[in-house]
Amino acid sequence: MVVIQDKMKVSIAYTLREGRRILEEVPASQPFVYIHGYNNIIPGLENALTGRHLGEKFTTFIPAKLGYGEYRQDLILTVPKEELSEIGELWLGMELKMFQDNDIREFQLPDTADEFVDDLNLDDDDQSDGIYTIKEILEDTVIVDGNHPFAGKDLTFNVEVIDITESSFTEQESGFPDEDDYDDYDSYDSFDNRSDDNFDSNERRWR
pLDDT band at 101 (very low <50, low <70, confident <90, very high): confident
pLDDT band at 110 (very low <50, low <70, confident <90, very high): confident
Write the Ramachandran bin of 81: left for phi over 0, alpha for psi from -120 to 50, otherwise beta: alpha
* Residue percentage of the chain with pLDDT more than 90: 65
Looking at residue 148, what DSSP letter applies? -
Domains and CATH numbers, the chain: 8-68+151-204 (3.10.50.40), 73-145 (no CATH)
Is 118 in contact with 40 (CB distance < 8 Å)?
no
Is 160 in contact with 57 (CB distance < 8 Å)?
yes
Write the Ramachandran bin of 29: left for phi over 0, alpha for psi from -120 to 50, otherwise beta: alpha
pLDDT band at 112 (very low <50, low <70, confident <90, very high): low
Q: What is the distance of C-alpha 155 from the center of its chain? A: 15
pLDDT digits (tens, 9 = 90+) for 45-99: 999 999 999 999 999 999 999 999 999 999 999 999 999 988 989 999 999 998 8
- Tell me which of 24 and 120 has the higher pLDDT: 24
Q: How many CB atoms lie within 10 A of CB 123?
A: 20
Question: Quick one: pLDDT at residue 109?
Answer: 81
Position 7 pLDDT exceeds 80: yes
Question: Quick one: pLDDT at residue 152?
Answer: 96
- 3-state SS class at 49: helix
Question: Quick one: pLDDT at residue 155?
Answer: 98
3-state helix, strand, coil in the chain (%, to 5): 20, 35, 45
pLDDT digits (tens, 9 = 90+) for 147-189: 988 999 999 999 999 999 999 999 999 999 997 655 543 332 3
> pTM for the full model?
0.73
- Tell me which of 192 and 24 has the higher pLDDT: 24
* Residue percentage of the chain with pLDDT more than 70: 77
**Amino acid identity of 86?**
E
pLDDT band at 205 (very low <50, low <70, confident <90, very high): very low
Q: How many CB atoms lie within 10 A of CB 87?
A: 15
- Cα 183-147-121 angle, rounded to 5 deg: 70
Q: How many CB atoms lie within 10 A of CB 102?
A: 5
